[in-house]
């Protein structure tokens, strides 16, 4: 039996953070042996909001280095940069002719980001989910591991796949999202009402490359809830529940064990334990990222091979799609 196809990606917009790790990368590492995986650095998605070209180039390498440092193994998966495989853009255009304005207007990520950018929000930000659908459908993907915030985009992808198949004949597999239960959405350290995000201020997140002192400071300064108990209750105690979730992922201890561990202790003790657990988790990852970036030749080789493998698959698929739609000449 061939393995099922899996696709996922992260935008190279800034330093990756523990939200990205818990919500995405950690799962990827576990999934890479079970599925036939493509892990993409989605730079075309990153430019839907303004990016500095020099920083973008660096962030592409940083993101790829993080993929490898957390344990993605190019023997088991294809790691590559989205813009180096132009078929993504072509398929996005073709799918955009099937997507309608109403369904794109309902996307909550667009609504949130458009609010921030107002009249200057780009058309690309609006059609972002169509490009994401193209990424997924280009490889006949069956499984898409993402955080909860991306669920709506995967739903749209399914709709577009079915619509295309109905109109032009069976062409695309209809993919499924794979969401992790605890920690699908890590919250910002300075505001548990919003998700941890690399596009916000640095007090909001812990980057995979943050030094131990920085991690300690950020956790000790993170907001807490009104009473003094360490209890998992995301409704009434969103800040502490968020730290418990992070602690759970860093140590492997379950929620009950964690509540018991801190039953008679205060926020100070709890926060120190969380900080030390994160430091222990990130120490080897940070060192590996630094090593890959110090001499990027190995990283470059892996990305070259990934690009070539992706190009071959993408070209086969796009030929089939052009043919189904009736584009060009025979
Ligand atoms: P940005 O804030 O720049 O838009 P981001 O930090 O949300 O970026 P993305 O590149 O959009 O990161 O997402 C990469 C992956 O990480 C996705 O699978 C997404 O669902 C997941 N992810 C992002 N933020 C979180 C979070 N706070 N908790 C859990 N998963 C997250
Ligand atoms: N939109 C995603 C990143 C992304 C993605 C994809 C994830 C772009 N293309 C395809 C899974 C599959 C995000 O996390 N913001």
User: Which atom of ligand 2 is least distant from the CA of 131?
Assistant: 9
CB atoms within 10 A of CB 6: 24
Contact criterion met (CB below 8 Å) for 187 and 193: yes
Contact in structure between 195 and 186 (CB atoms under 8 Å): yes
- Given a contact cutoff of 8 angstroms between Cβ atoms, the answer to whether 239 and 271 are in contact is no
Q: What is the pLDDT of residue 183?
A: 60
**Domains of the chain, CATH where assigned:** 5-184+296-325 (3.40.50.620), 209-291 (1.10.240.10)
CA of 10 to the centre of ligand 1 (A): 7
The pLDDT, as a whole number, for residue 228 is 87
What is the structure's pLDDT at 116? 84
| pLDDT value of position 184 | 67
Q: Which residues of the chain have pLDDT under 50?
A: none
Cβ of 147 closer than 6 Å to ligand 1, yes or no, is yes
Cβ(43) – ligand 2 distance below 6 Å: no
Burial of 167 (0-12, 13-18, 19+ CB in 10 A): exposed
Centre of ligand 2 to C-alpha 10, Å, is 6
- Starting from the CA of residue 154, give the closest ligand: 2
SS3 287: helix
Per-residue model confidence (pLDDT) at position 143: 97
Residue 180 CB less than 6 A away from ligand 1: no
Longest Cα pair distance anywhere in the chain, in angstroms?
Answer: 75
Distance 9 CA to ligand 2 centre (A): 5
3 state SS for 104-173: HHCCHHHHHHHHHHHHHCCHHHHHHHHHHHHHHHCCCCCEEECCHHHHHHHHHHHHHHHHHHHHHCCCCC
Backbone angles phi, psi at 188, to 5 degrees: -65, 140
Among 245, 244, 249, 189, smallest CA distance to 216 is for 189
């Amino acid at each position: 039996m061939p393995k099922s196809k899996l696709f996922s990606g992260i935008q190279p917009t800034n330093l990756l953070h523990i939200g990205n790790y818990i919500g995405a990368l950690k799962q990827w590492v576990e999934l890479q042996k079970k599925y036939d995986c493509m892990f993409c650095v989605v730079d075309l998605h990153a430019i839907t909001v303004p990016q500095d070209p020099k920083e973008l180039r660096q962030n592409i390498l940083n993101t790829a280095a993080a993929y490898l440092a957390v344990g993605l193994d190019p023997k088991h998966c294809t790691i590559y940069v989205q813009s180096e495989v132009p078929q993504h853009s072509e398929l996005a255009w073709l799918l955009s002719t099937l997507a309608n304005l109403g369904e794109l207007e309902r996307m909550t990520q667009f609504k949130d980001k458009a609010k921030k950018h107002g009249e200057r929000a780009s058309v690309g930000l609006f059609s972002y989910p169509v490009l994401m659908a193209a990424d997924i459908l280009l490889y006949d993907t069956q499984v898409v591991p993402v955080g909860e915030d991306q669920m709506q985009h995967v739903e749209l992808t399914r709709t577009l796949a079915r619509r295309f198949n109905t109109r032009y004949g069976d062409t695309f597999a209809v993919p499924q999202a794979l969401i992790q239960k605890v920690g699908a959405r890590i919250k910002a350290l300075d505001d548990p009402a919003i998700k941890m995000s690399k596009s916000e201020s640095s007090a909001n997140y812990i980057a995979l490359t943050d030094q131990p002192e920085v991690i300690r400071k950020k956790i000790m300064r993170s907001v807490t809830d009104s009473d003094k108990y360490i209890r998992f209750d995301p409704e009434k105690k969103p800040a502490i529940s968020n730290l418990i979730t992070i602690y759970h992922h860093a140590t492997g201890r379950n929620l009950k064990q964690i509540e018991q561990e801190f039953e008679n202790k205060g926020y100070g003790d709890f926060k120190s334990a969380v900080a030390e657990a994160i430091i222990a988790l990130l120490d080897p990852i940070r060192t590996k990222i630094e090593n890959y970036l110090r001499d990027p030749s190995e990283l470059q080789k892996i990305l070259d091979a990934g690009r070539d493998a992706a190009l071959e698959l993408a070209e086969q698929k796009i030929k089939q799609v052009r043919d189904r739609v009736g584009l060009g000449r025979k």
